[in-house]
Structure 1
Amino acid sequence: MAYVSVPVGLLATALGVYGDTRGWWDNRGFLTNLVSSFTSLLFGVPTALVVLSHLQGKQAEAMERRAVKNRAEAAKQAYRELALQLVRPEARTNYGVVVAGFLVTGDEIRQGLERNPPLPGKLHELYEKRVADFRGTFTGEGRELVEWIESMLLLWEQMDSEIRPLIEGAGLRWMPLDRYRELRVHHERLASIDRSAVIREVNTLNEYVRNLSTGSLPQRRSAVRRLGADCTAFQGWTLFVVSLERILHDIEHIAR
């Protein structure tokens, strides 16, 4: 419409000015007002449409940003709740200390398995300590732990593949590149954990420890291999949980 109104408006203005010089509008008050109003309309309507279009664009952009922020907040809340789902409420202020202790215990278990022959008594004591500390700080084990790992990976995949493009497209803050790379590494390591080793129950692990001293040579070798796989898997989970506080801090500042 502007492509028609503006040229016609210019033509009407030129006609009005020319008419003034020729005295066409003398004693023609109504016609003068009509022509001048029509000329103003030809300029005013396109201008109003441009301004209105601009305002509508700004409003649509603001609505899109709000929708993206709301979706990001929902994803962040889901991640935060799931991340601490297995932590007992009374242990949420100091679970990091217990988890850091798992790293020490894991190193001692690894060293015990590498001895020739292994020390079943010492290993049994270490596993009992690890189990007691875990149960005192976390709920669920075995399959619940595997489900937690897989759910965390699904939520991260959603945030990375769906939420991140929306946030960046809306001009909102995602996270610094170095932190994004680090979070990707943490989740890739979590994904690499051998879930078949994580789901082994405590009684099964105790049976492997007993086989170190009472089993046949093939049983002892199998026990060392399986306990080593358990140690590697549990250490992988531990390293992720140790980093969880920093991960949650980074995620909390998304779209802020």
Structure 2
Amino acid sequence: MKINLLIILLYLSVLVIFSCNSTKELNHEIIYNDSAHFELQNNFRFTLNNGKGFNHPTYVLWEEDMSGNYLRTLYITKAYASGIFGHQMVGDSVWMMKPGESHQPAALPYWSHKKGLLSGDNLIPSPEHPFVDAYCGATATKNFQFRSNIEPLDKNIRILFEVNQAWDWNYYWTNSKYSDNYAYKHSAQPSIIYAVTINNTDSIYYLNPIGHGDAKGESGKLFTDLSNITSAKEIFKSIKLEIKSN
């Protein structure tokens, strides 16, 4: 009797495991829901479709007014927001095969300067000074959707997205280009900034590249020449935003 019961339990366990795996395989999209802002009027869905260049990038999504003034951050990858990455940084150019603190000023420099100082003179998030004013999540390995709500729009605003992928070298952004700059040596091709203008009309928008960030992470300047950017533009096939009134 006990043996038969054990066999049944094992069989049910196998069914559950296969059921879970099938669900994950059939679901090609990871969805994050931001419940903190569901009281706001406009339904907001942000979808990333991975491209052939995708390899665990760091990224951030935020709002600006039409004059380019920072309003608020909507979503940011947890590693950058916390300063704890998958590879701990030791010194200027050594990375360990374990998670730990890593200072990455060239990862998302445009947003980092836009949002301003965290505390004192700290611009880049760290374990001591994390960025906590947005929804944080791990980098999704599949296509990704972030669902939230935004305030009613009585005028146009801009939605911006910055993405960077470590060690993403190409013919122009080589590992010897800024050989004395540790931030660049980790970043390689600089971050890409995408943007779109939205209004209070229910619609579907696609974000398009407007430039890249500072390859050395020393400023918040936007560089509009993307002619030497290659695989970094292929991290995502499409970046889509849907707005719908509740």
TM-score, structure 1 length as denominator?
A: 0.22
Flag the structure with more relative contact order, 1 or 2, with Cα contacts below 8 A and sequence separation at least 6.
2
TM-score, structure 2 length as denominator?
A: 0.23
Q: Give the strand-richer structure, 1 or 2.
A: 2
Find the structure with the greater CA-based Rg: 1
